Structure 1
Amino acid sequence: MLSDIELRECYFSRQKTSYVRDLAEFVFSKRIILGDLASKSDQMIREDLITVKGIGNWTVDIFLIMALHRADIFPLGDLAAVKSLKKIKKLPVDTSNDKILSVSKSWRPFRSIATMLLWHSYIQENNIKF
């Protein structure tokens, strides 16, 4: 296992170091079995992962999209996706989460793909370089 110093050299904050250690403890103690997650429903995965300190809905959403390739996830907590959606749909800045979810429902069952397009739009609009 990496030391705190080694994790800081990988740009982990103290807080993130604590979170990754908590996740490791869940995996080592088999409270979460990573190999079993792919066969579970999105909701079951969310319920399992959200119990780990530092993992919230956004983290679960991104894990579902990027690691498990789930096709129908809209990460409501993702600032870039939400900002891009508001701009494209010409929605006011203070649009409620319920309204945003309502708009995203029209993209079922491919909301993850729509999210990737929203991210691309956000990157282009803001001239972000990697």
Structure 2
Amino acid sequence: MSKPIALTQSLLEQAIHELTARDADLARVHADLGAPPMWERAPGFPTLVHMILEQQVSLASARAAFDRLRALVEPLTPQGFLELDDETLRGVGFSRQKTGYGRHLAQAILGGEFALEELHRHHDDEARRQLMRLKGIGAWTADVYLLMVLRRPDVWPIGDRALVVAAREVKRLPADPTSAEMTALGETWRPWRAVAARLLWHHYLNTPRVR
């Protein structure tokens, strides 16, 4: 079986060229804003913990909690995380549920049940399956890890709120697209759905909205 493909700057440019040639709406985003940055995150335990913190809260709130955690444990390792008691984690900003998720992740890595360092060797479906076996890692977290950390070019995180809003605006839809509509929309952008997502996020981050 071939090795999984990771997005590079040259592949990003190729994908944008192909997507904008066949989708006028994405072409407009690119013409207005240029190419999106090559957003990426470092592989490993700290990034997954940060993504758990990001679930259902603002990115700023999650970042503040993560920074407080890193101030207590540096480097942030599974063993170091497990040495923090629940009260300390609550003070950092972990809910009881997210504390449980973080502990389960740390224990799975230390116990050899989850080989995080091997994830890059797996193709998308298997990598997603490995991640989603973990308590607290759902489709959104798994997809964003594949897209941002493993830099997979054809991941499509339909549960991402910013992506839904951007899709509605860019495609001029009357309402937020449903999960089924997001899935169908993504099909038109294969095999570069993750690059389409990056263009849509680029639009989202550069478009003022009334709160």
Q: TM-score, normalised by structure 2?
A: 0.55
Provide the residue aligned with 1:77 in structure 2. 159
Between 106-115 and 32-41, report the one with greater CA deviation.
106-115
SS in 2 for 1:59: helix
SS in 2 for 1:80: helix
Per-residue Cα deviation, 1:85-118 (whole angstroms, up to 9, x for no partner):
1111112325332222222222222211221221
Residue pairs, 1:42-57, within 5 angstroms: 42-57=124-139
Identity of aligned residues (%): 39
Which of the residues 71, 82, 98 maps onto 2:180?
98
Residue pairs, 1:32-71, within 5 angstroms: 32-71=114-153
In 1, distance between residues paired with 2:86 and 2:105?
A: 15
Aligned residues, how many? Answer: 127
> Which structure has more RCO (C-alpha within 8 Å, separation ≥ 6)?
2
Structure showing greater radius of gyration is 2
Q: TM-score, normalised by structure 1?
A: 0.86
In 2, distance between residues paired with 1:44 and 1:11?
A: 32
User: What runs of 5+ residues in structure 2 fail to find an aligned partner?
Assistant: 1-82
**Shift of residue 44, structure 1, vs aligned partner:** 0.9
In 2, distance between residues paired with 1:95 and 1:59?
A: 20
In 2, distance between residues paired with 1:114 and 1:10?
A: 35
On the 8 A contact 2:140/2:159 being kept in 1, the answer is yes
SS in 2 for 1:53: coil
In 1, distance between residues paired with 2:191 and 2:142?
A: 18
